[in-house]
Amino acid sequence: MSSSVVDYENLMMNSCNDANTSVRSGVLPRWERKRLQARAKSNNLSENDSCNSIDNPLIEGVAADRFIPNRAAMDMEKSELFLRSSSCGEPDDSSVESGSSFSVSGEYKSTLGHAMLGIENGKSHRVLSFKDKAPAPKGDIVNHHKVLYSSHHSKSSNNESKLIQRHISNTPYKILDAPELMDDYYLNLISWSPSNYLAIALGQQVYIWNADSGDVQELCSFDNGPDAHVSSVSWVQTGGPHLAIGNSDGTTQLWDVQASKKLRSMDGHSQRVGALAWNNHILSSGGKDSIIVNHDVRIARHQTSVLSGHTQEVCGLTWSPDGSALASGANDNKLCIWDASTTSLSAPRWSFTDHQAAVKALAWSPHERNLLASGGGTADRCIKFWNTQTGSLLNSIDTGSQVCSLVWNPHEKEILSSHGFERNQLSLWKYPSMVKVKELEGHTARVLHMACSPDGESVVSGAADETLRFWNVFSASGSSSKLKHRDAVSSKRKLSQRMHLR
């Protein structure tokens, strides 16, 4: 047997031995090359042979590069036995011509490969053992590398919750015709009472729609000239039968709806009253004369304070749920926050000028104290969120169209906005991420007004197309039985989907 074959056997024996821990790189250090050259000279080798011996990885004592992934998974004694037994097919001296280099036959390579990497005849002991396998691709995946780098992320992505888990119908469950509903951005013409009565101002008349029975009655009419009209309506918060009505002549009237009787008329404005807001027995009115008047409806001298923080028509008013602050918006693009104890000579707690258009849409959050949402007109198009305690702007979202009104979902942290040009849609947003959850379309003109039902499940929208549409958008979880009951009652009373207020 030639010396090359002997060296090859010695190499394979030493590489399978745990005692052989010396792993050498392909480039030898200078001192070792000198030692090998000296040994070659002592053995009377030629210079060419000595150079070849240096580069030959099969020289005794010089091991070739190797990579063993995991020694703990190997049985080295059995692996060595399989390697030695697989060498039975190697050629002998008779098959090797004198002076020719040694080459391993194809059959020998195949046997050696099975011993090192494969399993043959039930043998499970491999020289090379790889434990952590790459995950198999799922489906038709063109880029297989994507599986390796996204396998961990895909596990966590399955735990992501959906934004909304209830069904929201794309169509309203009821439509009411509202002829002569004025197309005026600065007015507030609908209000839904805690007793489930809806007040609608149509021109010079005010109508009351009973949401339980579907009956419609005319409450009052103001015939003070061709330009006279009702400019705002607002139900008292306590659930009583009292309705406040603002008129184009600057007066604010208080009506008992059950008795169909006017209780009193309160002055204080020189022009129309476009916004009304209740805080227990205090009624705040905002007019085109840019002032806000606080009325105590219990006493004869009803004016308690006059607030002068705006320079143009006041079109938005709302009290906070705890009654500690009043928010006002006007055509001067200004948003003011007033304390409940503010007098006529006091300045507002905060005066914000971030909006670039009239501020009509205002809504206090029922979930977080001191959180106020405001919406701007055509030149602004933004919904902004404020911390009225610190006066900081929390977030601002460009909706892409005029913001006409805002209503919070009393059951979840969501807010519904109604819009004007161009799409005249209602948009439901998840707070605080402000991800758009749903868009409701159906109105053919800008949606100027919205009001929430007393159970907090339905919203009515009034638009310049002279229709009122009722949307089941705020249904709480587990309220399907209520909806079925309501549908059954509606069907029993044979109410058509489209009705007329007059």
One-letter amino acid at 397 equals I
Confirm if 414 and 427 have CB atoms less than 8 A apart: no
CA 206/CA 480 separation, integer angstroms: 33
Overall number of domains in the chain: 2
44 and 113 both lie in a single domain: yes
User: Which amino acid appears at position 46 of this protein?
Assistant: S
Residue 92 lies in a domain: yes
Element containing residue 440 per DSSP (H, E): strand 435-440
CATH (domain of 383): 2.130.10.10
Do the beta carbons of residue 441 and residue 424 sit within 8 Å? yes
Asked if residue 447 lies in contact with residue 375, where contact means CB atoms within 8 angstroms, the answer is: no
- pLDDT tens, N- to C-terminus, the chain (502 residues): 456 655 666 666 665 554 444 455 556 777 788 888 888 877 754 445 444 444 444 444 444 455 555 556 566 676 666 666 655 544 444 444 444 444 445 555 556 556 555 554 554 555 555 555 555 655 444 454 444 444 444 443 343 344 556 889 999 999 999 999 999 999 999 999 999 999 999 999 999 999 999 999 999 999 888 889 999 999 998 888 999 999 999 999 999 999 999 999 999 999 999 999 999 999 999 999 999 999 999 999 999 999 999 999 999 999 999 999 999 999 999 999 999 999 988 899 999 999 999 999 999 999 999 999 999 999 999 999 999 999 999 999 999 999 999 999 999 999 999 999 889 999 999 999 999 999 999 999 999 999 999 999 999 999 999 999 999 999 765 444 444 444 434 433 433 456 677 6
Do 291 and 411 lie in one domain? The reply is yes
CB 418 within 8 A of CB 450: yes
Q: Six-digit token pair at 99?
A: 């002076």
Using CB atoms within 10 Å of the CB of residue 424, give its burial: 0 to 12 exposed, 13 to 18 middle, 19+ buried: buried
Together in a domain, 183 and 102 = no
- Residue 460 to residue 475: CA distance in whole angstroms: 14
Side-by-side strand order, sheet with 458-463:
447-452, 458-463, 467-472, 174-177, 498-500
Handedness of CA 51, 52, 56, 58 (dihedral sign): negative
Q: Is residue 471 part of a domain?
A: yes
Give the 3-state secondary structure of residue 282.
Answer: strand
- Same domain? For 107 and 185 the reply is no
Euclidean distance between CA atoms 148 and 152, whole angstroms: 8
Domain end among 102, 117, 132: 117
412 and 491 share a domain?
yes
One domain, residues 396 and 494 = yes
Domain housing 81: 3-117
Cβ atoms 189, 234 nearer than 8 A: no
Residue 422: asked if its preceding bond is cis (omega within 30°), the reply is yes
* Distance (Å, whole) CA 96 – CA 4: 11
Interstrand relation of 190-192 and 174-177 (parallel, antiparallel or unpaired): unpaired
The torsion angles phi and psi of 156, rounded to 5 degrees, stand at -75, -30
What's the CA gap between 208 and 190, in Å, rounded? 10
Q: Are 227 and 108 within one domain?
A: no
Give a yes or no: residue 50 inside a domain: yes
Strand, helix or coil for residue 479: coil
Same domain for 86 and 222, yes or no, is no
Residues 178 and 113 in one domain: no
What is the pTM assigned to this prediction? Answer: 0.66
In this structure, what token pair is assigned to residue 313?
């028509």
Q: Hey, is 100 helix, strand or coil?
A: coil
Do 385 and 279 share a structural domain? yes
Asked whether residue 302 is assigned to any structural domain, the reply reads: yes
Domain assignment present for residue 256? The answer is: yes
Domain edge (last residue) among 98, 117, 136? 117
> Both 57 and 204 in a single domain?
no
In a domain, residue 164? The reply is: no
Q: What are the residues whose beta carbons fall under 8 Å from the beta carbon of 382, sequence distance 6 or more?
A: 355, 356, 375, 376, 396, 397, 398, 399, 403
Considering Cα of 238, then 240, then 246, then 250, what sign does the dihedral take? Answer: negative
Q: What letters, b where the CB count within 10 A reaches 16 and e where it falls short, cover 139-153? A: eeeeeeeeeeeeeee
Q: Residue 120: what are its φ and ψ, rounded to 5°?
A: -135, 135
Domain end (from 117, 134, 162): 117
Residue 13 bridge partners (DSSP):
none
Tell me if 427 sits within 8 A of 407, measured CB to CB. Answer: no
The answer on 296 and 217 residing in a single domain is yes
Q: Is residue 60 part of a domain?
A: yes
Residue 142 lies in a domain: no
